[in-house]
Amino acid sequence: MSNGGRATGDLSGRSSLRNAGPVLALLALLVLAFAFQGTRGLWEPDEGRYTNIASRMIRSGDFLRPAFNDDFRHFAKPPVTYWAIAAGVATVGWNEWGARIPNAAAFMATVLLVAGIGRRVTKARPWLPAVVYATSLLPVVACNVVTTDTILTLWETLAVLGFVLAWDAGDGRGARGSLLLMWSGFGAAFLTKGPPGLLPLLAIVAFAALSRRRGALRRTFSPWGVALFLAIAASWYTVVAFLDPALVRYFFADEFVGRIASGTHNRHSEWYGAYIYLPILLAGTLPWTPVLLAGFAASWRGLLQFSWWRRAAGERPWVVFCLLWLLLPLAVFAAARSRLPLYVLPLFVPISLLAAQRLEHRPLRLRRWGAALALWCVVLVAGRWAAAGWHSEHDTRPLAVSIAALPPPRPREIVFVDLPPRWGVSLYLRAEVERAVLQSSERGLSVPLDQELAGAESDRLFIVPARRVPAFEAAARELGTGVAQVGSFGDVVYYRQVERDPAAAPRSP
């Protein structure tokens, strides 16, 4: 009698633990996504640049034409990321939380979409791909960095979910709606980062060809789906190109051809630059790296044989699809002349699916496995907290705090003189950020200093490196413009314009 009662109690405990599992998993995901997002300051140049453009959209009311300031527009990327940051700032506040909350939400949504794909790809353990992705090092790190890549990963994953659902439906009633979901995802991805958002299409086309399913490609590229894609993807491009026809050449020649075929953008364009992706993939997949390496070690010979792909497409179709989703875009990234580590972030979704498929039918000691993952999650969150306390010369927050402590008025415009701009001060101080140069022959996002000194404005702050102070003051005197030192920070000096000196003769034009 007592043994039976003990057995019943054990079963009840296991059932309670099983029922609590989804709740605990959701809580862990919330912590991984949102913990300490507002603790670390904005780091230049990327976080500062994105937040500056987004905050300027709010200040100016122009959400159509991204710009650094009144002098320089910035059409290098479509506006979805800027819109997301602007929405976060307007909702949460003018701080790091507001800037990073869109990435945190995108990371969380991506995990849920991966779980949706897992229901079709790893049916024995549908939750496993989501667990792998949510606990992989790079996705967790990336969602704490203000860039386009986490949001792009969300849309690409949504598109692939639509494809997976449509493929399973075949000619069924749900296929058309799933394909519309796929093309909506690709449209949003294109509106986030342009052509790179379509890279999963390479895998979809190759997979359909290998599978030899009749009419698969025709159904995938249905007129309604392609029309929906164009309506979303081309919307912003069409409007801004209509306003400025010169952008047509810029989008195609500079952004598309330039990034793929030239080193114009100075992003690891050397022939050996492709090797930056290898350590990113190996370290970024921790703690799942051994699982993936074992999988590739077991099948690398087959990957080099076309007959293996044909056979595997029939026997293990989703393994083949995920391999294509990983390898084909990776080949494009390696061949392109513009390379940055986070470019490969969307590939961590197929990587997670591959790892889950390898583990799907293997025995797992769930208690020990769960405890190890919980400890790893603590390490990930602690790492984010530690990064906030790590002094970095790229952190813009200390400079912004120093400027905010200056006597009033609060600067409406901040001009960096012969210095790389700290774009992030725009978010902290809600101010316009510009760069001026003493030598007008210099290029970049800068204007001649005399143009900035032309009008006396007391709410304009000049930030001058200490070594350039004599030259700056001499230039101001030559223009007949009064400037006064109002403070300093590190190796820079702050100046405000004061009333013009009537005794000073302005320089002849």
Query: Cα angle at 115 between 114 and 116, to 5 degrees?
Result: 85
pLDDT at 169: 87
pLDDT at 12: 47
Domain ranges in the chain? 105-382, 397-498
pLDDT at 304: 81
pLDDT at 253: 59
Strand order in the sheet with 432-437: 447-448, 432-437, 413-417, 460-465, 492-498, 482-489
Tokens standing for residue 89: 């700032």
Q: In 378-491, at which residue ranges do the beta strands (DSSP E only) sit?
A: 413-417, 432-437, 447-448, 460-465, 482-489
Whole-angstrom distance, CA of residue 349 vs CA of residue 467? 49
pLDDT at 171: 75
Residues of the chain with pLDDT under 50: 1-2, 5-14, 261-269, 271-272, 502, 504-509
pLDDT at 266: 47
Sign, CA dihedral 111-116-120-124, equals: positive
Which tens digit of pLDDT belongs to each residue from 166-223? 999 887 777 899 999 999 999 999 999 999 999 999 999 999 999 888 888 899 999 9
pLDDT at 255: 58
Tokens standing for residue 143: 């969602």
> If you compute the radius of gyration of the chain from its CA atoms, what whole number of angstroms results?
27
pLDDT at 2: 44
Q: In a 10 Å sphere around its CB, with 0-12 CB exposed, 13-18 middle and 19+ buried, how is residue 13 labelled?
A: exposed
What amino acid occupies position 132? Answer: V
Q: Do residues 126 and 139 lie in contact, with contact meaning Cβ atoms separated by under 8 Å?
A: no
Neighbours of 140 (CB within 10 A): 22
